[in-house]
Amino acid sequence: MRVADRLAAHRTGWHVGEVVAAAMETPLSRRIELEVPTWPGNEAGAHLDIRLTAPDGYQASRAYSLASSGPGTHVTLVVDRMEYGEVSPFLVDELAVGDRIELHGPLGAFFIWRPPMTGTAPAAPMPVQLIGAGSGVVPLFAMVDAHAHAGDATEFRLLYSVRDPEHVFFRAELEAAARDCPGPLRLDLLYTRQGPEGWPAPIGRITRERLAELAIPPADDPTIFLCGPTPFVEMVAMWLVELGHAPERIRAERFGGAA
């Protein structure tokens, strides 16, 4: 049984994870590494719920995308701090190594990337276009990482919209993957507020024209994974269809509200 089939066979459940490492990823986000002994593994693109319980019994839970995938019990999250959130300020500012938290998962079946099965994939697998904004890159990074570790020949492109260089998630890993990945991988960064000195591309929010320029063309029939704030996802999805992409080839996840 291949890894994807083994992962799909595991049931979702509640788990207790212990924080084994934590460090700031950007000025507003934190990478959290957890060891979860009962974790069944997860596929790239999956998410989980985190539940916090206050001393008075009040509980709050929020969903977070997984930056890790595979059959192991090590779970990686990157959490963006929402100023008025109930859960993310604690995870970013207070959660400490050695602390334990409740996790429910793995969750998600639609927003999942699986490498083609060895020996059954077509000679030229359908390409994959990843499009993310801000922390929406987290599940897309899991797909890039799974793609690299699978030695997969599928063409991948990641179009990542981010405010400035200081707020790029997974910079070192993405640059290494683009350089060393066994399969084709192109990384396109689109800075909305400020770019690195001498950055050759225009600075500003994504436009329909830039999307058409950077994304895999509709004629190549890519599978598209799109993740980010609701307004970004809805606008980009509309443009993709206008540009000729089949709606059924677009898989979207959005986020917004309290965290």
Cβ atoms of 50 and 12 within 8 Å: the answer is no
pTM comes to 0.91
Give the ranges where 110-207 is alpha helix by DSSP (H).
137-150, 171-180
Inform me whether the pLDDT recorded for 120 exceeds 80.
no
Mean pLDDT score across all residues of the chain: 90
Length of the chain in residues, anyone?
259
Query: Closest Cα to residue 258, out of 101, 139, 87, 102?
Result: 87
Backbone dihedral angles phi then psi of residue 58, each to the nearest 5 degrees = -65, 135
Residues whose CB falls within 8 Å of the CB of residue 63, separated by 6 or more in sequence, listed in order: 47, 48, 49, 50, 107
In the structure, what pLDDT confidence band is assigned to residue 255 with cuts at 50, 70 and 90?
confident
**Gap between the Cα atoms of 169 and 141, Å rounded:** 9
Predicted local distance difference test score (pLDDT) of residue 151: 81
Asked whether residue 240 carries a pLDDT value surpassing 70, the answer given is: yes
Q: In the chain, pLDDT over 70 holds for what percent of residues?
A: 91
Please state the rounded mean pLDDT for residues 10-34.
94
Give all domains of the chain, ordered by start, each with its CATH number.
3-107 (2.40.30.10), 128-255 (3.40.50.80)
Q: What is the pLDDT of residues 152-183, one digit of tens each?
A: 888 999 999 999 999 999 999 998 888 877 66
Return d(Cα 224, Cα 241) in angstroms, integer: 11
* Whole-number Å distance between alpha carbons of 165 and 220: 31
Q: What is the pLDDT of residue 154?
A: 87
pLDDT digits (tens, 9 = 90+) for 93-112: 999 999 999 999 999 999 99
Tell me if the bond preceding 106 is cis, omega within 30° of 0.
yes
- Which pLDDT value is given to residue 229? 94
* pLDDT tens-digit map of 35-56: 999 999 999 999 999 999 988 9
